[in-house]
Structure formats: structure tokens, C-alpha cells
Structure 1
Amino acid sequence: MKNILIIALLFSFNSLFSQDDLMDVLDNETPKHKEFVSSTFKGTRILNGHSIENRKKGTLEFLISHRFGRINQGIDELFGLDQSNIRFAFEYGVSDRLMLGLGRSSFKKTYDGFFKYQLVRQTRGVKAFPLSISLFGSAVYKTLKDYDPENKPDFNRKLAYTSQVLIASKINNSVSIQITPTYIHNNSVRTNQDPHDIFAVGLGNRIKLSNRVTLNTEYFYTANPLKSIKAKDALAIGVDIETGGHVFQLILSNSITMIERDFITETTNDFFEGGIHFGFNISRAFQTGGKKKKKDF
């Protein structure tokens, strides 16, 4: 009898809320118009590789990246800090969808240029779409004179190219993920056993720790690595710290290079055997145009 009474009370309480009432609650929680998702990542890099993020139209960003020597070199090399590889670059938002960049790296004295174009932007609400998709392309030119004078390579042989599709989703306010199918073409290789065309896929994520700090991880699997070196898959762990006008990234990685073609194909250290490089990315953004009106595109 007691159980029957409880069931009756629950049924009576539930009847106070009609189906229309429940639908009203759902309607209030769901945006009635399309909203674009922002800040999937804090900066334009996850760690080594590019994120889905672009700089806004008219924004010029100056980016400095450092990777030091291996931590397991010990105190004689100050745990790698006596050695350094540096890259600096200028990156510009031509529009909210298109970003261009030009950089120079001390590793093999390499120049690189890239574009990143946003095809699709993640939305919520009416006609929600769960993904942001961008296209990335870069060209690198190595100027290091590591050849015999009589065998000087021509301009074309010093070039290499990278193409990527950046596919990301902001799962919620705390978690974002990205997958990055990658194709790399080298105009020249060390030996005939090395492939000219290399295929890889990157996986990255962001976990929000506070309003200004996130934990990021990144991994690139290479399907057909170079044969002339003992190539390893690139792995990185780090944190993003947002401080006003710039994002500061602290990074632990088995890669000493910071250009896609190099860290995806020429990483030789094993992260889990101590082949770890400490490094950082720091950027400063400047608005070159007048103050523009806020809009979606």
C-alpha cells in the first residue's frame, strides 16, 4: 500500500509539468539562432603544429619560438639550455578567414612561408555544425651550405612543401580536439630509399585548467618515415598561458624543430627515453587597421 501511495504521489507531481512545459525548458536552453564557436584553442599553434585558429583581419602577430637541447644531456650542457634553435615569424590576418606568414629558423637556416584558410566554422544553435575546417599550405627553403661546392643544388632542389587539413571541434568550454591529415613533398632526398612524398596524421587537444591556462598535447604519426635516419613520431606536451596581448606556451617535445616539414619528418629523439627538448612560443599581436566592427565573418 505504501509503494502504491508513493507511485501515485510521483505521478501527480509529474503531471504538474506538461509536455509543453518540458519543451519550453529545452527551447530556452537552445540558441534560437546560429552562433559561431570561438576560442577552440588559445593561439594559432597547438604546440609545434598549427591550430584551427586564425588571427583576425588586420592583426599582425610577431612570433618567437625557442627549442633548447635535450634535457638528458645533463648539467654540463645545463640540461640542454646551452644549445638553442630559434624561429621568428611575422603572421598577418588578411581577412578573418585567411592568414599569411613568413618565418626564419636557425635549424638548417631555413625560410618558410605559409597560408591558412578557414573553410568552415563550428556553429551551435539552429543548423549546428560540430566542426571547424581549415586548409594549410607551406613551402620551406633551406639555405644551409651542407654540400660540396662542385655539387651545389639548384633552387628547386632546396624546396619542400607541406599540405594539411585542420579539423577541430570544441567539445565544450573545457575540451577541444583536432585531427590533422598531412602530406609532405620533398623535391630532393638524402638517399634513393627516402620517399619524396610522406603522409602523416596529427592529433591534438586542449584542456582548460583556468580562464588563462590550458594543458595541450600533440602527436604526429608518420606512415612512411625517412629511411636514412632513425625517425621518430613527434610528441609534445605543454601549457598555454594567456597574459593580455600575447599567449605564452611552455613546451616539452622530442622535436627540436618548429616547421611542419622538419618536426614531422626529421625528429630523431625518443620522448620516453629522455630525448626531450624544453622550449617555448611567445607571440605579440598588433592591430594594424582601424577599430573594426564585430561580426561573424
Structure 2
Amino acid sequence: MTFSLVLFVYALASAQEDLLGQLDTVKLKEKTIETATFKALQIGNMQSTKLASKGETYILIAHRFGDLTKGLDNFFGLDNAYTKIGAIYGVTNWLSLGASRQTYHKIYELTAKYKFANQETNGFPVTIVGYNTWDINTELSEDDYPQLKASDRYNYSTQLPISRKFSNSFSLEITPIYVHKNLYDLIPGTEKENQFLIGAGGRYKLTKRLSFNLEYAARINAPENTIYHNPLTLGLDIETGGHVFQLVFSNSQSLNDVAVFTNTTGKWNGGGIYFGFNMYRVF
């Protein structure tokens, strides 16, 4: 009887140990969302897969100075700056809306950013986000275009950023891009109504508060007579408490997505390098 009781207690203890082991295995396999794939809402000019959280408001102030390669002629670009001021609001954790105004063509830009999927540990491998912009060019004049219609002022872009955080230091993003212009023949033969691009960008963490960013977008169906170039941008993210400060060097001076992707005039190997910054403050 005593021997049977000992066997029973031993079997019960073994069963509990197996159960605890199984529970530990389940915990290891639990799916958790990867965070901090990118620290800022942008990589440089391109959008990242980061969204404003529900109830958060981001204030954006951005500058792109003139051509650095002209030296003292324009005081290394300080004489010819573009400015963008805007705000982004997190409606939900998966949807944010934004509005901005910039000096380039006096453009007002409305944006929507929304999340389709999150990267998970032991689960879904990537984060997928959608992003749309609607540009309103208020600089166009009926004196220059007597038959100008309201819709001629509108340009649009649609993007699908797809990112993966490979480690605490390295993240990569691929972004299919579509741009539509209602008025696109300002310089005949150099533009198209619809343009497609593939963009790629990455972030490498250098220190706790500093990371190096790089991005590039290739135009798939660029016009044969185009005078524009593929945008290439590099920069640094600096985390300073309540905001991320981004230093940017690019061959594009524009600040709106449509112009960055289809009207980049500079060449890294031939003049037209623009320094600037993006500053996001969250409330």
C-alpha cells in the first residue's frame, strides 16, 4: 500500500513537471508584435511603416535647403529653402490622418496612413502599411493656363510600405509606389500621367539614440525624354526625448511625395545635393 502511494505521488509530480514544461513551450511560442522597426514616421523622404498611436498628434516641421554644390553662390543652400509645416493625428492605432502646407508650388497635402498587418515574433513575418497623399497645387494660375480646371491642381500618390525588423539594429523596407498627375505636361515629353516606382529603404542603429537611414526609389516607366532622376536619400535619426530629429541629404529638394518620386532634379554624381531636416514632435 505504501509502495503504491509512493508510485502515485511520483507519477503525479512527473505529470505536473511535464505540464509546466508544456506551458513554458507555449509561452515561448506566443506571438508578440515587433516594435520600433523605425523610430520616425519617415525614413528620409519615404514613409516608414510607423504610425501615430491612437490619440497622438505629431507636429511636423521640415526644411530642404538649396543646392549644396553651389557653395557660396547660394551660401551652401541657405538662400533657397523649402519649408513644410503639418500635423498627423492617430485616429486609431491602425489609422492616422494628416495635413500640411509647403512653399514648393504652395502645395496643400492631405494624407492617410493605415496598417494592414503587424510583424510578429513566431508569426507574421512583415509589417504592411498603406499610404495615400492628395496634393493641391495652389500656385497654378489661370493667367498662365486660361482653361485651368480645379481638378488640374490635384496630384495623388499611393504607396504600400512593407517592412521587416531583422534585429534590434537593422530594419528593411520595400515600397511599391504609384503616382497619378492630372496636369503632367508642363514640360512636354518629360512626364506621364501615371508613373510606377519601387522604393527600398533601411535603418541601422548606431547607438541608443542614433541611427543611419538610406532609401532609393527606381522609376519603372520613366519617359524616354525625362529630365528627372531617381531619388536617393541618406540621413541620420536623432532621438531627443519627445521628438525625433532627422538630418537628410538628398538629390530631391521637394518635400511632397509626388514631386520627390517624379520630379527629382539633382544628381549625386553631377550636382544638385540638398541638405535638410525633418522634425516630429509628438503630443
Question: How does the TM-score come out when normalised to structure 2?
Answer: 0.87
Residue 184 of structure 1, aligned match among 176, 179, 186: 179
Q: Verify the 8 A CA contact 2:169 2:205 in the aligned structure 1.
A: yes
1:218 aligns with 2:209: no
1:57 aligns with 2:54: yes
Residue 165 of structure 2, aligned match among 164, 170, 184: 170
Superposed structure 1 runs of 4+ greater than 6 Å apart? none
1:176-228 CA deviation, whole Å, 9 max, x = no partner?
00010001111122256331000001100000001110000010111123566
Partner of 1:122: 119
| Shift, 1:76, TM fit | 2.7
Residue 44 of structure 1, aligned match among 41, 45, 57: 41
Query: Take 2:167 and 2:52, find their aligned partners in 1: how far apart are those partners?
Result: 22
1:284 aligns with 2:248: no
| Shift, 1:229, TM fit | 4.8
Partner of 1:131: 126
1:151 aligns with 2:143: no
1:264 aligns with 2:261: yes
Partner of 2:91: 94
Aligned residue identity for 2:210? V
Unaligned residue ranges in structure 2 (runs of 5+): 1-20
Q: Verify the 8 A CA contact 2:65 2:274 in the aligned structure 1.
A: yes
Query: Take 2:143 and 2:153, find their aligned partners in 1: how far apart are those partners?
Result: 14
Q: 93-102 vs 145-154, which deviates more?
A: 145-154
Partner of 1:105: 102
Partner of 1:295: none
Query: Take 1:278 and 1:90, find their aligned partners in 2: how far apart are those partners?
Result: 22
SS of match in other structure, 2:207 = coil
User: Matched residues, percent identical?
Assistant: 36
RMSD: 1.8
Structure 1 residues 150, 39: CA separation in 2 closer, same or farther (over 3 Å shift)? Answer: closer
Structure 1 residues 150, 37: CA separation in 2 closer, same or farther (over 3 Å shift)? Answer: closer
1:34 aligns with 2:14: no
SS of match in other structure, 2:159 = strand
Q: Verify the 8 A CA contact 2:140 2:153 in the aligned structure 1.
A: no
Unaligned residue ranges in structure 1 (runs of 5+): 1-23, 287-297
1:110-149 CA deviation, whole Å, 9 max, x = no partner?
0110101100000003xx1110001111110101135535
Query: Take 2:78 and 2:196, find their aligned partners in 1: how far apart are those partners?
Result: 32
Partner of 1:160: 155
Q: Verify the 8 A CA contact 1:226 1:265 in the aligned structure 2.
A: no
| Shift, 1:154, TM fit | 1.2
Q: Verify the 8 A CA contact 2:133 2:157 in the aligned structure 1.
A: yes
Q: Verify the 8 A CA contact 1:31 1:124 in the aligned structure 2.
A: no
Partner of 2:14: none
SS of match in other structure, 2:269 = helix
Aligned residue identity for 2:274? H
Aligned residue identity for 2:150? F
1:232 aligns with 2:212: no
Query: Take 2:145 and 2:232, find their aligned partners in 1: how far apart are those partners?
Result: 38
1:83-103 CA deviation, whole Å, 9 max, x = no partner?
100111110000111011001
Paired residues, what number?
A: 259
Q: Verify the 8 A CA contact 1:48 1:236 in the aligned structure 2.
A: yes
Query: Take 2:83 and 2:226, find their aligned partners in 1: how far apart are those partners?
Result: 23
Aligned residue identity for 1:115? A
Partner of 1:70: 67
Q: Verify the 8 A CA contact 1:86 1:106 in the aligned structure 2.
A: yes
Partner of 2:242: 245
Query: Take 2:48 and 2:131, find their aligned partners in 1: how far apart are those partners?
Result: 10
Question: How does the TM-score come out when normalised to structure 1?
Answer: 0.83
